[in-house]
Amino acid sequence: MIDSVDTLQAQAGRFLSSRRELVAWDEDSQRRCLDLVRRFQQKALAPDGLRAALTSERIGAAPPATSSTIALLSLVGVLMPTPSIFSLLGFGTSVRDFTSKLLAAALDPKVKAIAVIVDSPGGSIRLIPEAAAAMRQARGRKPVVVSVAGMAASAAYWIASNATVIEATPSASVGAIGIVTERVSLARHLEQEGIDVHVISAGKYKHEGHPALPMSEAEGKALQARVDAAKQAFVADIAAGRHVAASSVDHGYGQGRIVEAADARRLGMIDRIATVDDTIARTLAAPAVLTAQMTARSLQGRASTDRARLEQARAEIASHRARLQAARQRIELR
Protein backbone atom coordinates (compact mmCIF):
# COMPACT_ATOMS: atom_id res chain seq x y z
CA MET A 1 0.00 0.00 0.00
CA ILE A 2 1.45 3.34 -1.07
CA ASP A 3 1.79 6.05 1.58
CA SER A 4 -0.40 9.13 1.46
CA VAL A 5 0.52 11.83 -1.05
CA ASP A 6 1.03 14.31 1.80
CA THR A 7 3.52 11.98 3.51
CA LEU A 8 5.46 11.44 0.28
CA GLN A 9 5.42 15.16 -0.54
CA ALA A 10 6.82 15.94 2.92
CA GLN A 11 9.52 13.28 2.48
CA ALA A 12 10.41 14.69 -0.95
CA GLY A 13 10.67 18.20 0.46
CA ARG A 14 12.94 17.12 3.30
CA PHE A 15 15.12 15.14 0.92
CA LEU A 16 15.53 17.96 -1.59
CA SER A 17 16.26 20.51 1.15
CA SER A 18 19.09 18.35 2.56
CA ARG A 19 21.31 18.43 -0.53
CA ARG A 20 24.17 20.08 1.34
CA GLU A 21 24.93 16.74 2.98
CA LEU A 22 27.80 14.61 1.70
CA VAL A 23 26.84 11.75 -0.54
CA ALA A 24 28.59 8.70 -1.93
CA TRP A 25 26.26 8.09 -4.84
CA ASP A 26 26.94 7.32 -8.51
CA GLU A 27 26.64 10.76 -10.12
CA ASP A 28 24.54 9.87 -13.19
CA SER A 29 21.98 7.95 -11.14
CA GLN A 30 21.92 10.72 -8.54
CA ARG A 31 21.11 13.35 -11.15
CA ARG A 32 18.29 11.34 -12.67
CA CYS A 33 16.74 10.37 -9.32
CA LEU A 34 16.91 13.93 -7.99
CA ASP A 35 15.16 15.18 -11.11
CA LEU A 36 12.37 12.63 -10.61
CA VAL A 37 11.89 13.60 -6.94
CA ARG A 38 11.96 17.29 -7.88
CA ARG A 39 9.22 16.74 -10.49
CA PHE A 40 7.15 14.88 -7.90
CA GLN A 41 7.62 17.72 -5.41
CA GLN A 42 6.41 20.16 -8.09
CA LYS A 43 3.35 17.88 -8.60
CA ALA A 44 4.40 17.09 -12.18
CA LEU A 45 4.44 13.37 -11.27
CA ALA A 46 1.86 11.33 -9.38
CA PRO A 47 3.06 8.86 -6.69
CA ASP A 48 2.47 5.88 -8.98
CA GLY A 49 4.31 7.65 -11.78
CA LEU A 50 7.26 8.39 -9.48
CA ARG A 51 7.39 4.77 -8.35
CA ALA A 52 7.31 3.52 -11.96
CA ALA A 53 10.03 5.96 -13.03
CA LEU A 54 12.28 5.05 -10.10
CA THR A 55 11.73 1.35 -10.74
CA SER A 56 12.76 1.89 -14.35
CA GLU A 57 15.87 3.76 -13.17
CA ARG A 58 17.04 0.82 -11.05
CA ILE A 59 15.18 -2.37 -10.28
CA GLY A 60 16.33 -3.80 -6.96
CA ALA A 61 17.14 -7.51 -7.08
CA ALA A 62 14.50 -9.64 -5.38
CA PRO A 63 16.12 -12.09 -2.94
CA PRO A 64 15.57 -15.71 -4.03
CA ALA A 65 13.86 -18.17 -1.71
CA THR A 66 16.35 -19.97 0.49
CA SER A 67 16.83 -22.03 3.63
CA SER A 68 16.42 -20.68 7.15
CA THR A 69 20.04 -21.64 7.90
CA ILE A 70 21.20 -18.44 6.24
CA ALA A 71 19.85 -14.95 6.76
CA LEU A 72 19.07 -13.21 3.46
CA LEU A 73 19.22 -9.40 3.46
CA SER A 74 18.99 -6.85 0.67
CA LEU A 75 20.75 -3.54 0.11
CA VAL A 76 18.96 -2.08 -2.89
CA GLY A 77 18.15 1.30 -4.35
CA VAL A 78 19.14 4.65 -2.88
CA LEU A 79 20.67 4.40 0.60
CA MET A 80 19.40 6.86 3.19
CA PRO A 81 20.15 6.80 6.94
CA THR A 82 16.48 6.40 7.93
CA PRO A 83 13.27 5.63 6.02
CA SER A 84 12.97 8.11 3.13
CA ILE A 85 10.80 8.75 0.10
CA PHE A 86 12.82 6.07 -1.71
CA SER A 87 12.28 3.34 0.87
CA LEU A 88 8.63 4.38 1.31
CA LEU A 89 8.15 3.73 -2.41
CA GLY A 90 10.07 0.46 -2.25
CA PHE A 91 13.02 1.92 -4.16
CA GLY A 92 15.61 2.30 -1.45
CA THR A 93 17.03 1.06 1.82
CA SER A 94 17.11 2.56 5.28
CA VAL A 95 20.69 2.00 6.44
CA ARG A 96 19.57 2.05 10.07
CA ASP A 97 17.09 -0.76 9.44
CA PHE A 98 19.60 -2.76 7.37
CA THR A 99 22.22 -2.53 10.12
CA SER A 100 19.73 -3.67 12.77
CA LYS A 101 18.79 -6.73 10.70
CA LEU A 102 22.46 -7.51 10.00
CA LEU A 103 23.45 -7.47 13.67
CA ALA A 104 20.35 -9.46 14.66
CA ALA A 105 21.31 -12.15 12.13
CA ALA A 106 24.89 -12.16 13.40
CA LEU A 107 23.67 -12.84 16.94
CA ASP A 108 21.08 -15.48 15.96
CA PRO A 109 22.52 -18.94 16.80
CA LYS A 110 20.27 -20.60 14.20
CA VAL A 111 21.85 -18.58 11.37
CA LYS A 112 25.00 -20.19 9.98
CA ALA A 113 25.80 -17.52 7.37
CA ILE A 114 24.49 -14.19 6.09
CA ALA A 115 23.90 -13.39 2.42
CA VAL A 116 23.36 -9.81 1.24
CA ILE A 117 21.96 -9.06 -2.22
CA VAL A 118 23.25 -5.65 -3.35
CA ASP A 119 21.94 -3.51 -6.20
CA SER A 120 22.44 0.13 -5.27
CA PRO A 121 24.03 3.32 -6.66
CA GLY A 122 24.84 4.48 -3.09
CA GLY A 123 23.42 7.47 -1.26
CA SER A 124 23.97 9.61 1.82
CA ILE A 125 27.09 8.76 3.84
CA ARG A 126 25.31 9.21 7.19
CA LEU A 127 25.37 5.90 9.12
CA ILE A 128 27.45 4.26 6.36
CA PRO A 129 30.67 4.02 8.47
CA GLU A 130 28.56 2.47 11.24
CA ALA A 131 27.06 -0.03 8.78
CA ALA A 132 30.53 -0.94 7.49
CA ALA A 133 31.73 -1.49 11.05
CA ALA A 134 28.65 -3.64 11.72
CA MET A 135 29.50 -5.71 8.63
CA ARG A 136 33.01 -6.35 9.97
CA GLN A 137 31.55 -7.18 13.38
CA ALA A 138 29.10 -9.62 11.80
CA ARG A 139 31.75 -11.37 9.71
CA GLY A 140 33.76 -11.86 12.88
CA ARG A 141 30.97 -14.13 14.12
CA LYS A 142 29.94 -15.92 10.91
CA PRO A 143 30.48 -15.67 7.13
CA VAL A 144 28.85 -12.69 5.40
CA VAL A 145 28.56 -13.11 1.64
CA VAL A 146 27.65 -10.26 -0.71
CA SER A 147 26.20 -10.91 -4.16
CA VAL A 148 26.22 -7.81 -6.36
CA ALA A 149 23.24 -8.21 -8.68
CA GLY A 150 23.62 -5.11 -10.80
CA MET A 151 25.56 -2.38 -8.98
CA ALA A 152 27.41 -1.75 -5.73
CA ALA A 153 28.50 1.86 -6.14
CA SER A 154 29.82 4.44 -3.71
CA ALA A 155 28.17 4.01 -0.28
CA ALA A 156 26.88 0.56 -1.30
CA TYR A 157 30.41 -0.62 -2.04
CA TRP A 158 31.60 1.05 1.19
CA ILE A 159 29.37 -1.37 3.10
CA ALA A 160 29.76 -4.39 0.80
CA SER A 161 33.56 -4.27 0.86
CA ASN A 162 33.48 -5.27 4.53
CA ALA A 163 31.84 -8.64 3.93
CA THR A 164 33.70 -11.95 4.15
CA VAL A 165 33.34 -12.50 0.41
CA ILE A 166 32.09 -10.29 -2.44
CA GLU A 167 30.77 -11.94 -5.57
CA ALA A 168 29.23 -10.18 -8.55
CA THR A 169 27.16 -11.22 -11.53
CA PRO A 170 28.96 -11.03 -14.91
CA SER A 171 27.22 -7.79 -15.92
CA ALA A 172 27.55 -6.10 -12.52
CA SER A 173 29.67 -3.07 -11.70
CA VAL A 174 31.23 -1.83 -8.47
CA GLY A 175 33.30 1.11 -7.24
CA ALA A 176 32.66 4.85 -7.69
CA ILE A 177 34.74 5.34 -4.56
CA GLY A 178 34.56 8.98 -3.58
CA ILE A 179 32.50 11.73 -1.97
CA VAL A 180 30.54 14.52 -3.60
CA THR A 181 28.47 17.43 -2.38
CA GLU A 182 27.19 20.62 -3.91
CA ARG A 183 26.82 24.28 -3.03
CA VAL A 184 24.32 26.20 -5.15
CA SER A 185 24.42 30.01 -5.08
CA LEU A 186 21.59 32.10 -6.50
CA ALA A 187 23.31 35.37 -5.60
CA ARG A 188 24.14 36.37 -9.19
CA HIS A 189 20.67 35.46 -10.46
CA LEU A 190 18.99 37.42 -7.64
CA GLU A 191 21.16 40.43 -8.41
CA GLN A 192 20.20 40.30 -12.11
CA GLU A 193 16.54 40.12 -11.15
CA GLY A 194 16.90 43.07 -8.81
CA ILE A 195 15.94 41.06 -5.75
CA ASP A 196 17.55 41.91 -2.41
CA VAL A 197 17.82 39.12 0.15
CA HIS A 198 19.08 39.98 3.62
CA VAL A 199 20.43 36.95 5.48
CA ILE A 200 20.42 37.43 9.25
CA SER A 201 22.18 34.81 11.33
CA ALA A 202 23.73 34.25 14.74
CA GLY A 203 26.90 32.21 14.84
CA LYS A 204 30.11 32.92 12.93
CA TYR A 205 29.50 30.35 10.19
CA LYS A 206 25.73 29.83 10.48
CA HIS A 207 25.04 31.67 7.22
CA GLU A 208 27.30 29.39 5.18
CA GLY A 209 25.48 27.45 2.50
CA HIS A 210 22.60 29.90 2.17
CA PRO A 211 21.67 29.98 -1.54
CA ALA A 212 21.23 33.77 -1.53
CA LEU A 213 24.92 34.22 -0.68
CA PRO A 214 27.99 33.47 -2.79
CA MET A 215 30.39 30.86 -1.44
CA SER A 216 33.36 32.44 0.28
CA GLU A 217 36.90 31.10 0.05
CA ALA A 218 36.77 30.04 3.72
CA GLU A 219 33.50 28.18 3.16
CA GLY A 220 34.94 26.42 0.12
CA LYS A 221 37.98 25.28 2.09
CA ALA A 222 35.83 24.05 4.98
CA LEU A 223 33.57 22.11 2.61
CA GLN A 224 36.57 20.58 0.84
CA ALA A 225 38.00 19.54 4.21
CA ARG A 226 34.74 17.71 5.04
CA VAL A 227 34.78 15.95 1.67
CA ASP A 228 38.44 14.95 2.09
CA ALA A 229 37.84 13.62 5.61
CA ALA A 230 34.86 11.55 4.44
CA LYS A 231 36.88 10.18 1.52
CA GLN A 232 39.68 9.19 3.91
CA ALA A 233 37.20 7.32 6.12
CA PHE A 234 35.73 5.66 3.02
CA VAL A 235 39.14 4.41 1.87
CA ALA A 236 40.13 3.29 5.38
CA ASP A 237 36.99 1.16 5.73
CA ILE A 238 37.50 -0.46 2.32
CA ALA A 239 41.14 -1.18 3.19
CA ALA A 240 40.05 -2.78 6.47
CA GLY A 241 37.33 -4.74 4.72
CA ARG A 242 39.46 -6.04 1.85
CA HIS A 243 42.63 -6.49 3.97
CA VAL A 244 44.74 -4.24 1.74
CA ALA A 245 46.73 -1.06 2.22
CA ALA A 246 44.86 2.24 1.90
CA SER A 247 47.22 3.22 -0.92
CA SER A 248 46.03 0.18 -2.90
CA VAL A 249 42.44 1.42 -2.62
CA ASP A 250 43.39 5.00 -3.50
CA HIS A 251 45.39 4.10 -6.59
CA GLY A 252 43.96 0.78 -7.75
CA TYR A 253 40.22 0.63 -7.14
CA GLY A 254 38.96 2.81 -9.98
CA GLN A 255 39.81 6.21 -8.46
CA GLY A 256 36.16 7.29 -8.40
CA ARG A 257 35.08 5.44 -11.55
CA ILE A 258 32.67 2.53 -11.85
CA VAL A 259 34.51 -0.74 -12.55
CA GLU A 260 32.94 -3.63 -14.44
CA ALA A 261 32.93 -7.11 -12.88
CA ALA A 262 35.84 -8.60 -14.85
CA ASP A 263 38.13 -5.66 -14.11
CA ALA A 264 36.94 -5.53 -10.49
CA ARG A 265 37.95 -9.18 -10.08
CA ARG A 266 41.37 -8.45 -11.56
CA LEU A 267 41.86 -5.45 -9.26
CA GLY A 268 40.82 -7.39 -6.14
CA MET A 269 37.65 -5.37 -5.56
CA ILE A 270 35.56 -8.57 -5.66
CA ASP A 271 36.42 -12.22 -5.07
CA ARG A 272 34.42 -14.07 -7.71
CA ILE A 273 32.08 -13.61 -10.67
CA ALA A 274 28.95 -15.70 -10.18
CA THR A 275 25.18 -15.51 -10.47
CA VAL A 276 23.09 -14.76 -7.40
CA ASP A 277 21.73 -18.32 -7.38
CA ASP A 278 25.25 -19.81 -7.50
CA THR A 279 26.38 -17.56 -4.65
CA ILE A 280 23.42 -18.51 -2.48
CA ALA A 281 23.83 -22.21 -3.27
CA ARG A 282 27.52 -22.13 -2.37
CA THR A 283 26.77 -20.28 0.86
CA LEU A 284 24.15 -22.86 1.81
CA ALA A 285 26.38 -25.80 0.96
CA ALA A 286 29.59 -24.86 2.73
CA PRO A 287 29.56 -21.96 5.22
CA ALA A 288 32.61 -23.54 6.92
CA VAL A 289 34.60 -23.11 3.69
CA LEU A 290 33.78 -19.41 3.71
CA THR A 291 34.98 -19.15 7.30
CA ALA A 292 38.30 -20.70 6.28
CA GLN A 293 38.54 -18.23 3.39
CA MET A 294 37.87 -15.39 5.80
CA THR A 295 40.67 -16.51 8.13
CA ALA A 296 43.14 -16.98 5.25
CA ARG A 297 42.36 -13.57 3.78
CA SER A 298 42.75 -11.93 7.16
CA LEU A 299 46.21 -13.44 7.63
CA GLN A 300 47.18 -12.58 4.07
CA GLY A 301 45.93 -9.03 4.53
CA ARG A 302 47.89 -8.56 7.71
CA ALA A 303 51.06 -9.75 5.98
CA SER A 304 50.39 -7.39 3.05
CA THR A 305 49.78 -4.47 5.40
CA ASP A 306 52.94 -5.28 7.35
CA ARG A 307 54.95 -5.30 4.11
CA ALA A 308 53.47 -1.96 3.08
CA ARG A 309 54.32 -0.44 6.47
CA LEU A 310 57.87 -1.84 6.25
CA GLU A 311 58.35 -0.33 2.79
CA GLN A 312 57.02 3.00 4.04
CA ALA A 313 59.40 2.92 7.02
CA ARG A 314 62.34 2.12 4.73
CA ALA A 315 61.41 5.01 2.44
CA GLU A 316 61.21 7.38 5.42
CA ILE A 317 64.62 6.20 6.69
CA ALA A 318 66.16 6.68 3.23
CA SER A 319 64.66 10.17 3.02
CA HIS A 320 65.97 11.03 6.48
CA ARG A 321 69.45 9.80 5.54
CA ALA A 322 69.41 11.90 2.37
CA ARG A 323 68.46 15.01 4.33
CA LEU A 324 71.18 14.27 6.91
CA GLN A 325 73.79 13.78 4.18
CA ALA A 326 72.77 17.09 2.54
CA ALA A 327 73.07 18.87 5.89
CA ARG A 328 76.57 17.43 6.43
CA GLN A 329 77.65 18.60 2.98
CA ARG A 330 76.42 22.13 3.68
CA ILE A 331 78.37 22.17 6.95
CA GLU A 332 81.56 20.99 5.19
CA LEU A 333 81.22 23.69 2.54
CA ARG A 334 81.18 26.34 5.25
- Ramachandran class of 169: left when φ > 0, alpha when ψ lies in -120 to 50, beta otherwise: beta
Mean pLDDT, the chain, whole residue set? 83
Per residue in 233-274, pLDDT tens? 999 999 999 999 999 999 999 999 999 999 999 999 999 999
Distance of alpha carbon 122 from alpha carbon 24, whole angstroms: 6
**φ/ψ (deg, to 5) at 20:** -80, -10
Burial class (CB in 10 A: 0-12, 13-18, 19+), 186: middle
* pLDDT confidence of residue 117: 95
pTM of the entire structure?
0.75
The H or E element spanning position 97 is: helix 95-107
DSSP tag of 15: H
Per residue in 276-293, pLDDT tens? 989 988 888 766 666 566
Per residue in 115-138, pLDDT tens? 999 999 999 999 999 999 999 999
Which residue from 175, 140, 163, 327 is spatially nearest to 253, judged by alpha carbons? 175
Angle 245-158-9 from CA coordinates, rounded to 5°: 160
Q: Are strands 23-25 and 113-124 parallel, antiparallel or unpaired?
A: antiparallel
The mean pLDDT value for 310-317 works out to 71
Per residue in 145-167, pLDDT tens? 999 999 999 999 999 999 999 99
Share of the chain above pLDDT 90, in %: 53
Which residues are CB-neighbours of 304 under 8 A, at least 6 positions away?
A: 243, 244, 245
* pLDDT confidence of residue 1: 40
190-200: burial string, b at 16+ Cβ within 10 Å, e else = eeeeeeeeeee
Second-level CATH architecture of 5-176+249-286: Alpha-Beta Complex (3.90)
Distance of alpha carbon 76 from alpha carbon 90, whole angstroms: 9
Residue 40 binned pLDDT confidence (cut-offs 50, 70, 90): confident
- Ramachandran class of 144: left when φ > 0, alpha when ψ lies in -120 to 50, beta otherwise: beta
